[in-house]
Structure 1
């Protein structure tokens, strides 16, 4: 069984790289390519797989400057990203739900983080609906705003890219964020809307000294104080792993024909 599993890992990895290479033909920037989520708690294996992905891109003539390695924002994922960043391999830390995750990423010198506005909103909405909806009270919006303000106040270079939006109000409330990744249906809504787009997030003018970096024990304690973040991180890793297995099964079926 283990040998059969390994047999389809290489095609799955190559497929992701080939897909990324095709996307890069149509865009001027970068593409994110994910390290297998099943390695989210293995620092060394995550580093190894990331280097392998970059090497495959380079074999296709694509420079590592156009690649972002996507890792889950576990302690091990953040530590893997710290090593990769020092090698000039930029990383996108995803499944980010807590302030502790964001702070640890900034302290590790991570290139970009993707806090999930919509998934945070979903969790709270299922338990204590925000009715009527007031965007300033949206937990997902507040999370990204707090992270952005903290990074700018302490002059961290890590890019904050708000992601996973559910409503256009969330997007408009975060105008000015370093990056926003917006799904096509919401882009169409924005295009059809007459609502003015006004910058809401503005870098702090006063710079504060950086605190001592979080230790592993401090990170785990702070992250685990947030039930939403603990639940959504675990759920996200499981779902990413399910998608990985589906891809492997699909390739196994196709290549066995």
Structure 2
């Protein structure tokens, strides 16, 4: 006999309860990890794609991307850029076979201060998705939440009908500017804000509702709902399930497979902590920010300034590492010229030295890769903290 409805409800996992009032998104490039948790959407970033691209299970995608880059031809720099774009789209296309909603694909972080280059790169990614038979409505283009990135998002939404996901968002100023730009979705970070406070203040532990990252997202959510902004708020970068539970009721939450697994095993009662109705009672006042006001207000937040620049550097570094993976995997790309600053192509060519003495074969205890694709020191095998 089946149990009573009340008993069945008590047996629901925290993950299933969360899905009743928040759209759950998987934060991973490993699409084989998605099936178990059945998220609505999925997000990727350069760190996650880097980790997945080095797994033997995804060797075929790497080969296809390299072949595409070679087919288009051009300089080594151009071939690598095209191969990377194709690789991101290939991963996104596979993920879309697993989720009913949308996938987020990120524009190279090295373009974070060049609006026109971000717009061009975003349009190219959408073009590649459309060539694969995927509608642009199934894709969110991720852009860094710099002033230039936010304006790129505004242009993409208004002029090209391309939906944008603004990432690396740490300050209230960034959130206000994104709302005024009318972007589809923002990804305010939680865990990285907590990390900064733990590292830079005397307080080393926080209850979930006092977590500075949770409080930041709560303020942004309440502001958006109070003033009727349509932009979706998707909390991101979680360090523990307590942060996730404290933001239950947020529009979307993007969660790593590890924390999704913990929520799936957790049968504790979960209630929504955020709601559009409660947001109306907040004492927040409406703000308008032009570029000067944005830069001043954002600059006043030391944490946000440091974490935005740090996040851009980390994503850019992983883009360079991914280029190295492509170079060592493609014999025809291994003898390039020294690296340059990003130009019209939007990609910094890796130094030719990377194709020389930096490679080593797997030793005892090292990960196992095909012999033609040696282990690349010091490429990170697992994603950096989201």
Partner residue of 2:212 out of 139, 152, 155: 139
Change (3 A) 1:133 1:206: closer
CA deviations on 1:109-139 (whole Å, 9 max, x unpaired) are 0100001100000000112254553222210
- Alignment partner of 1:219 is 2:332: no
Change (3 A) 1:138 1:129: farther
Bigger helix share: 1
Partner residue of 2:242 out of 152, 163, 169: 169
RMSD, matched Cα: 1.9
Alignment of 1:21-100 (within 5 A): 21-86=93-158, 87-100=160-173
Change (3 A) 1:196 1:130: farther
Change (3 A) 1:12 1:131: closer
Partner residue of 2:231 out of 152, 158, 161: 158
Corresponding residue of 1:126: 199
CA distance in 1 between counterparts of 2:154 and 2:330 reads 37
CA distance in 2 between counterparts of 1:238 and 1:131 reads 25
- Once the two structures are overlaid, the 10-residue window that deviates more, 15-24 or 116-125, is 15-24
Paired residue secondary structure (1:29):
coil
Alignment of 1:191-202 (within 5 A): 191-202=264-275
- Once the two structures are overlaid, the 10-residue window that deviates more, 72-81 or 237-246, is 237-246
CA distance in 2 between counterparts of 1:228 and 1:132 reads 17
TM-score between both structures, scaled by the size of structure 2: 0.63
Q: Is the 8 A contact 2:176 2:287 kept in 1?
A: no
Q: Name stretches of at least 5 consecutive residues in structure 1 with no aligned partner.
A: none
CA distance in 2 between counterparts of 1:85 and 1:118 reads 28
CA deviations on 1:81-107 (whole Å, 9 max, x unpaired) are 001111210000000000000010000
Paired residue secondary structure (2:255):
coil
TM-score between both structures, scaled by the size of structure 1: 0.94
CA distance in 1 between counterparts of 2:244 and 2:223 reads 19
CA deviations on 1:32-59 (whole Å, 9 max, x unpaired) are 1111111100000100110111011101
Runs of 4 or more above 6 Å deviation: 206-210
CA distance in 2 between counterparts of 1:104 and 1:85 reads 14
Change (3 A) 1:7 1:192: closer
Q: Name stretches of at least 5 consecutive residues in structure 2 with no aligned partner.
A: 1-73, 333-386
Corresponding residue of 1:112: 185
CA distance in 1 between counterparts of 2:184 and 2:205 reads 37
CA distance in 2 between counterparts of 1:178 and 1:30 reads 15
Alignment of 1:235-254 (within 5 A): 235-254=310-329
Q: Is the 8 A contact 1:154 1:208 kept in 2?
A: no
CA distance in 1 between counterparts of 2:85 and 2:202 reads 40
Q: Is the 8 A contact 1:91 1:110 kept in 2?
A: yes
Change (3 A) 1:63 1:214: same
1:192, distance to aligned residue in structure 2 (A) = 2.4
1:25, distance to aligned residue in structure 2 (A) = 1.3
1:17, distance to aligned residue in structure 2 (A) = 0.8
1:194, distance to aligned residue in structure 2 (A) = 3.6
CA deviations on 1:191-240 (whole Å, 9 max, x unpaired) are 22243110100113469998463110000000000111001000110111
Number of paired residues? 256
1:3, distance to aligned residue in structure 2 (A) = 4.3
